[in-house]
Amino acid sequence: MRVTVQATDLAVVPDAAPMKPTRWEMFGTAFALTQISELMVAAAFLWRMKIERKLLVKYLFAIAFINLLTFPVVWFFFPALQPFQYITTRVFGCVSLGIAIGYSVFWVRQSEVTLKVLQRSFLIWLLSLPVVAAIAFVIALFLGYGESLPSAVGLPSVVTLPASEGFAIGWEAWLIYHWVENHCCLPKFWR
């Protein structure tokens, strides 16, 4: 709404400019674009390396699951480190990091990672997400109770943005390398 104050009247006119979407509203679109682009690049690379079709599907499913773990960390944890963030935002950022670490440790410790294990891991992740979100909400409620202004303390985006991308590249590379090294037959070009 746009309000114009004049000497004799007050005019309230709906603002023609659309509202900017929130971080939560953009999350789904950004996640879909990230998954599509990363899977296309991975598929092209693996196809070029002449990986057999069954192994290609397994690799792509693993890459999609790894992206599922790291994307919320990039999207919520690193921005929560910036200034003017509410405590509740910081709690949800830390929870997303905790989920990524927990599932990564669980996944790396598996003696064998098959497509069935990947599917089961995804299903467990999907089913546990509402429970973890509810726990995070309660923690955020207790820590942020009575909070009126966000904290001005934090890191600038020129630090958090490169750190988040470095995290995503490093963490995903480590998980993919560990998974391929320990659980799959390595293609000749990787030996």
Question: Over the stretch 140-151, which tens digit does the pLDDT of each residue have?
Answer: 888 777 766 677
- Is 183 a residue whose pLDDT tops 70? no
Q: Tell me the mean pLDDT in the region 124-135.
A: 86
Encode pLDDT of 10-60 as tens digits: 888 887 777 788 877 898 899 999 999 999 999 999 899 888 888 888 889
- Is 163 a residue whose pLDDT tops 60? yes
Return the HEC string of 75-107.
HHHHHHCCCCECHHHHHHHHHHHHHHHHHHHHH
How many angstroms from the chain centroid is the CA of residue 121? 16
- Is 106 a residue whose pLDDT tops 50? yes
CB–CB of 15/2 below 8 Å? yes
pTM for this entry? 0.77
Q: What is the pLDDT confidence band of residue 77, given thresholds at 50, 70 and 90?
A: very high
How many angstroms from the chain centroid is the CA of residue 52? 29
Q: What is the pLDDT confidence band of residue 189, given thresholds at 50, 70 and 90?
A: very low
